[in-house]
Amino acid sequence: MHLTGAVVSPGVREVPQGYRLYQVLELAGGATPEADLAAVNLAAVVVDGGQVHVPRKGEAAPPGPPAVSGGPVTGGRMPGGGTGPGGAGAGMPEGMVNLNTADAPALEMLPRVGPVLAERIIAWRTEHGPFARAEDLDAVPGIGPALLEAMLPLVVVR
The rounded distance, in Å, linking the Cα atoms of 48 and 81 is: 6
Q: Please tell me the predicted confidence (pLDDT) of residue 84.
A: 37
Query: What value does the mean pLDDT of the chain take?
Result: 78
User: pTM for this structure?
Assistant: 0.46
128 Ramachandran zone, left/alpha/beta (phi>0; psi -120 to 50): alpha
Domain 96-158 has CATH 1.10.150.320: yes
β-pair partners for 5? 54
Number of H helices, E strands in the chain: 4, 5
Q: Where are the domains of the chain?
A: 1-77, 96-158
The rounded distance, in Å, linking the Cα atoms of 56 and 115 is: 30
Q: Which fold has domain 1-77?
A: Outer membrane lipoprotein wza fold like (3.10.560)
Do 1-77 and 96-158 have matching folds? no
64-122 tens-digit pLDDT: 444 444 443 433 433 333 333 334 344 445 568 889 888 888 888 888 888 899 999 99
